[in-house]
């Protein structure tokens, strides 16, 4: 069943994010991810869709109608909570401070554009059409909000690049992000169906 993320599902989504997506947000840890997704529920331009069966989240995807300033908006929903959490994280893992600053000022975040932020399916359930269904639900939501195209960024090393190309995303450009090649895809909604 594809449904919008509810507060009670946040711990499962945070865990799945950490398991399937390696990047800064996962490095910041489960506690950070839980706060991130919980606060995102208060941001009207962001939404997360989950595939839920028997109370178990098999996959999820998050989208936003305007990426510009999103992280700031999320952090400001619980400023003191995030400050305390960041202090805890950076005291024990100082290396993450520089990476966090660089990531949160990453060029993609300065575009005023709609984005599919992230998508993950539990490993044992990959290859069964869940990613395609989640993507389809994203399109539905983007259409409802009058959006005609959106972007997706993915590290070049990820197999997910094959998925995005297969599903109809066009490679817009690639750039070097913290020493790694990052691809930026554009999906034009118009009349396409996935």
Ligand X SMILES: CC(C)(COP(=O)(O)OP(=O)(O)OC[C@H]1O[C@@H](n2cnc3c(N)ncnc32)[C@H](O)[C@@H]1OP(=O)(O)O)[C@@H](O)C(=O)NCCC(=O)NCCS
Provide the minimum distance between the beta carbon of 187 and ligand X in the complex, in angstroms, as a whole number.
13
**Which has the closest alpha carbon to 169: 189, 143, 155, 146?**
189
C-beta closer to ligand X: residue 85 or 154? 154
Does position 127 interact with ligand X (CB under 6 A)? The reply is yes
119 binds ligand X per the rule CB under 6 A: yes
Binding residue for ligand X (CB under 6 A) from 126, 136, 168, 186? 126
**In the complex with ligand X, which residue's Cβ is closer, 26 or 68?**
26
Inter-axis angle of helices 79-92 and 30-40, to 10 degrees?
160
Closest CA to 150 of 66, 43, 68, 46: 66
The dihedral built from the CA positions of residue 76, 89, 110 and 131, taken in this order, carries a sign that is negative
CB of 166 to ligand X, least distance (A): 4
Binding to ligand X by residue 60, rule CB under 6 A? no
Alpha-carbon distance 32 to 6, whole Å? 17
Burial class for 167, CB neighbours closer than 10 Å (0-12, 13-18, 19+): middle
Shortest approach of ligand X to residue 108 CB, angstroms? 12
63 binds ligand X (CB under 6 A): no
What minimum distance in Å lies between the beta carbon of 167 and ligand X? 6
Q: Please give the Cα distance from 101 to 110 (Å, whole number).
A: 14
Residues that bind ligand X (CB under 6 A): 20-21, 118-121, 126-132, 154, 158-160, 162-163, 166-167
């Amino acid at each position: 069943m594809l449904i919008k993320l509810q507060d009670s599902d946040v711990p499962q989504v945070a865990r799945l994010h950490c398991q399937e997506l390696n990047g800064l947000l996962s490095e910041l840890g489960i506690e950070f991810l839980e706060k991130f997704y919980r606060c995102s529920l208060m941001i009207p331009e962001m939404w997360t869709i989950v595939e839920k069966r028997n109370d178990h989240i098999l996959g999820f995807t998050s989208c936003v109608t305007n990426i510009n300033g999103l992280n700031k908006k999320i952090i400001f929903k619980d400023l003191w909570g995030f400050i305390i959490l960041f202090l805890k994280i950076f005291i024990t893992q100082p290396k993450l401070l520089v990476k966090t600053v660089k990531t949160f000022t990453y060029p993609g975040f300065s575009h005023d554009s709609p984005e599919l932020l992230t998508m993950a399916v539990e490993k044992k359930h990959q290859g069964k059409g869940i990613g395609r269904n989640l993507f389809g639900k994203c399109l539905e939501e983007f259409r409802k909000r009058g959006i005609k195209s959106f972007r997706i960024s993915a590290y070049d090393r990820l197999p997910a690049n094959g998925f995005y190309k297969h599903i109809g995303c066009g490679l817009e450009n690639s750039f070097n992000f913290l020493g790694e090649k990052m691809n930026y895809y554009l999906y034009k909604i118009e009349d396409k169906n996935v």
